[in-house]
Amino acid sequence: MRRNPNKWRRKLLRAIPRRRHLRGGRLHRMVGEGLFHSELWAFTHRSLPGGLALGAFIGCTPTMGVQIIICGIAAYLLRVNIPVALLATLISNPVTAPVLYPLQYKLGVWLAGAPAPSELEGFSGALRSFMRYARPLWVGSLATGVVCAAIAYGLGTLLWLVGHSIGLRRKETKRQLPPAEPPREHIDLS
């Protein structure tokens, strides 16, 4: 039994919001027609790598739970591909976060220095304790985000160039093919 290679693609594409689904909705009323700008939905040489880079950067930040909202707003403001940016935020998810965040924390401690010990003294002590761990995590996650965004931008550019050249080759092949001859009528000689 042969598996259908496009099955995963259909499932993935079904989950991505389409322009026709957003038209007339609450988001459309709030944002206006700018939501349907072609750069936000098309795979262009700027919007595809930009969306991948933005999604990878925001996906590396410790904003689990609101990453997609932040990424959607940033993609709209920066005019990069919204669906690509939203999918790229999935670099951190409940499966990868337990591995990603401790590594980012260790990187942040290494970059920003060891956190100072604090004593819990009411709310201010709890805040100091939170900041003790939050600062290295944010420093590490921002450093990781910049590196991941740069890699994602390069891969996105490469992906766009490969896809664009394949599309150009297909168009060129169609142009070079001789026109199809019309079918000849069958003459029965019997």
Does residue 2 lie within any of the structural domains?
A: no
Alpha carbon of residue 189 to chain centroid? 65
User: Per-residue pLDDT tens for 146-163?
Assistant: 999 999 999 999 988 888
Return the pLDDT at 157: 93
Q: How far is residue 136's CA from residue 85's CA, in Å, rounded to a whole number?
A: 26
Q: Which residues are CB-neighbours of 152 under 8 A, at least 6 positions away?
A: 49, 52, 53, 55, 56, 57, 88
Does residue 9 lie within any of the structural domains?
A: no
Average pLDDT of 33-51?
80
Based on the number of CB atoms within 10 Å of its own CB, is 43 exposed (0-12), middle (13-18) or buried (19 or more)? middle
Range of 88's domain?
A: 23-175
Amino acid at residue number 116: A
Cα dihedral across residues 38, 41, 43, 44: positive or negative:
positive
Does residue 122 lie within any of the structural domains?
A: yes
User: Per-residue pLDDT tens for 54-104?
Assistant: 999 999 999 988 999 999 999 999 999 998 999 999 999 889 999 999 999
Does residue 12 lie within any of the structural domains?
A: no
Does residue 189 lie within any of the structural domains?
A: no
Confidence band, pLDDT 50/70/90 cuts, at residue 9? low
Does residue 31 lie within any of the structural domains?
A: yes
Q: What is the pTM of this model?
A: 0.72
Element (H, E) at 73: helix 67-78
Residue 49 tokens, joined: 């790598």
Does residue 14 lie within any of the structural domains?
A: no
What's the structural domain count of the chain? 1
Does residue 184 lie within any of the structural domains?
A: no
